[in-house]
Structure formats: structure tokens, C-alpha cells
């Protein structure tokens, strides 16, 4: 099982720090970067792709500037092997449908789906 090179788009430093610690401790994940805004995420992900890419991007919907939906839109034409998941407090049916339409493979609720996110990471790392 190889470690997933993972990029995290999350604007809360506390949530980001806790999520990185949990994922790197519980799943085969290596967080290779993070961003707090949609624009910064898009720039960093483009640079990462040019430097060999990453395996997984985890995106929050509401950011300091822009939204996770903007990030998903920008990734639509890029590397199809990059897995895209959304981790949000607003996993409503409408948000889920929009995220999936924009290329997310999964949408997880921050308040109740962390274990499901860890299991997802373990499954794709095993592929």
C-alpha cells in the first residue's frame, strides 16, 4: 500500500491541522500541500501537476476566498487520475449533486464522515 500524495484545501487552520494529523496517522496519506483559498489552491495544484502531480485533493466548499466548487471546476480538464473529494459541513443533497457533477468522486460530511474518509483513503491507496 503506497502513501497517497494529498493536497488539502481548507481555510480553518485548526481543522486543517487536525485533519492532517488524523489522515497521516490513520491512513496511508502524505499531505504535500494545502491552500486556504480557491485561487491559491488552483495555482498550487497546477504547479504540483507540473512537478509530478498528486493522488488526491480534499476540498472544503466554503473558503476564505472563492469556493471549493471553483477548485473542482478548475480541475475538470486536468489529470483524470487525480481523485477529488469534498469534505464539508454543508453536505446537503444539492451540494452533493453539484460536487459530483463537477468531478468529485465522494462528498463527506466533516461532522460525521471522517472515518468514511479514512476508509476511502485506505481503499484507493490499496488500488
Cell of 56: 488526491
pLDDT-derived band at 3 (thresholds 50, 70, 90) equals: very high
CATH architecture of residue range(s) 4-126: 3-Layer(aba) Sandwich (3.40)
**Taking a C-beta distance cutoff of 8 angstroms, is the pair 63, 36 a contact?**
yes
pLDDT bin (cut points 50, 70, 90) of residue 2 is confident
Tens digits of per-residue pLDDT, 46-97? 999 888 889 999 999 999 999 999 999 999 877 668 999 999 999 999 999 9
Count CB neighbours of 52 within 10 A. 8
According to the model, what pLDDT value does residue 102 have? 96
Per-residue pLDDT band for 1 (boundaries 50, 70, 90) equals low
Amino acid at each position: 500500500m503506497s502513501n497517497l500524495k494529498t493536497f488539502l484545501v481548507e481555510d480553518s487552520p485548526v481543522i486543517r491541522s487536525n485533519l492532517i494529523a488524523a489522515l497521516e496517522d490513520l491512513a496511508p496519506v502524505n499531505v504535500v500541500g494545502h491552500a486556504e483559498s480557491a485561487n491559491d489552491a488552483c495555482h498550487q495544484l497546477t504547479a504540483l501537476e507540473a512537478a509530478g502531480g498528486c493522488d488526491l485533493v480534499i476540498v472544503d466548499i466554503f473558503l476564505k476566498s472563492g469556493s471549493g466548487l471553483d477548485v473542482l471546476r478548475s480541475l475538470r480538464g486536468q489529470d483524470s487520475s487525480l481523485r477529488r473529494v469534498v469534505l464539508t459541513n454543508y453536505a446537503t443533497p444539492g451540494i452533493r449533486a453539484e460536487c459530483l457533477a463537477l468531478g468529485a468522486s465522494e462528498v463527506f460530511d466533516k461532522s460525521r464522515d471522517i472515518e468514511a474518509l479514512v476508509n476511502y483513503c485506505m481503499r484507493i491507496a490499496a488500488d
